[in-house]
């Protein structure tokens, strides 16, 4: 379809994009510095002489950019003064929490149990197991649980990795770091989930019930995954990124 210049000239830029551009500029030049709280929505709407709906459209775009985060009952906060430099995303093997989470993780709470194998674990681990190690990890930032991981591992895999399951420090280091160094390949499937924050959970996830769910299989060999991970990252804190190359 041919687009004639005189037609494009008649199109006016939507007002919410004008507000977005101005807010973007003020964040980038430090008028609204990193980690600061933006003025309230009524104040911003008055500042730009626009409706609350127009303002919220602009704020939604800034949230999509990862420059603004909205906390229910608290307001809108600036996450950074500039767009991040290119960083490693899901295209490289590594713990996705640290690549996809916007908050700094300062503590990981871990616990495990032994389960009998099930049709489900046979499917995701692609092997028979005498028993299955089921491991829960709660990622915390400033005392709040902000992500959750559930891991399945055949007891035979624990033996192959020379893991002492009673050694919490060794187990955590294996799941957080060493298994990613050992892995030769991985598959990651991204879904959405609303199953978190039930009364049976040890901690309540901060950031709301809607999570990005990353299903990860890590392979040391091609026969079966050494571990199968389910990572839950609340949408409020999730930034999934893939650097694609040709």
Is 123 inside a domain boundary?
yes
Per-residue pLDDT tens over the stretch 27-54: 888 899 888 899 999 999 999 999 999 9
**What is the span of the domain harbouring residue 55?**
14-78
Is 89 inside a domain boundary?
no
The CATH number linked to 110 is 3.40.1410.10
The CATH number linked to 65 is 1.10.10.10
Indicate the number of domains in the chain. Answer: 2
Contacts 24+ apart (CB under 8 A), 117-124: 117/154, 121/152, 121/154, 124/152, 124/217, 124/225, 124/228
Is 6 inside a domain boundary?
no
Per-residue pLDDT tens over the stretch 50-67: 999 999 999 988 888 778
Same domain, 52 and 102: no
Is 33 inside a domain boundary?
yes
pLDDT at 230 (0 to 100): 97
What average pLDDT does the segment 200-225 reach? 88
**DSSP 8-state symbol, 166:** T
Per-residue pLDDT tens over the stretch 90-117: 999 999 999 999 888 999 999 999 999 9
Phi, then psi, of 226 in degrees rounded to 5:
-70, -35
Is 8 inside a domain boundary?
no
Same domain, 124 and 37: no
Same domain, 52 and 126: no
């Amino acid at each position: 379809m041919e687009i004639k210049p005189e037609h494009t000239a008649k199109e006016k830029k939507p007002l919410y994009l004008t507000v977005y551009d101005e807010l973007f500029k003020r964040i980038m030049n430090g008028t609204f510095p990193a980690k600061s709280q933006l003025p309230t929505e009524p104040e911003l709407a008055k500042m730009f002489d626009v409706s609350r709906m127009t303002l919220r459209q602009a704020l939604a775009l800034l949230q999509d950019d990862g420059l603004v985060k909205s906390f229910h009952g608290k307001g809108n906060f600036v996450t950074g003064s500039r767009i991040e430099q290119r960083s490693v995303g899901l295209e490289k093997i590594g713990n996705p929490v640290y690549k996809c989470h916007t908050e700094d993780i300062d503590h990981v709470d871990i616990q495990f149990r032994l389960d009998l194998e099930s049709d489900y674990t046979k499917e995701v681990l692609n092997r028979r197991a005498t028993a299955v190690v089921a491991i829960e990890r709660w990622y915390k930032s400033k005392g709040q649980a902000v992500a959750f991981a559930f891991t399945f591992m055949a007891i035979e895999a624990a033996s192959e990795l020379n893991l002492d399951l009673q050694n919490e420090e060794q187990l955590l280091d294996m799941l957080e770091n060493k298994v990613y160094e050992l892995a030769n390949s991985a598959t990651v499937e991204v879904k959405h989930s609303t199953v978190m924050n039930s009364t049976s959970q040890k901690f309540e996830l901060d950031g709301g019930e809607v999570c990005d769910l990353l299903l990860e299989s890590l392979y040391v060999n091609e026969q079966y995954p050494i571990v199968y991970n389910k990572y839950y990252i609340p949408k409020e804190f999730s930034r999934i990124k893939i650097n694609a190359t040709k």
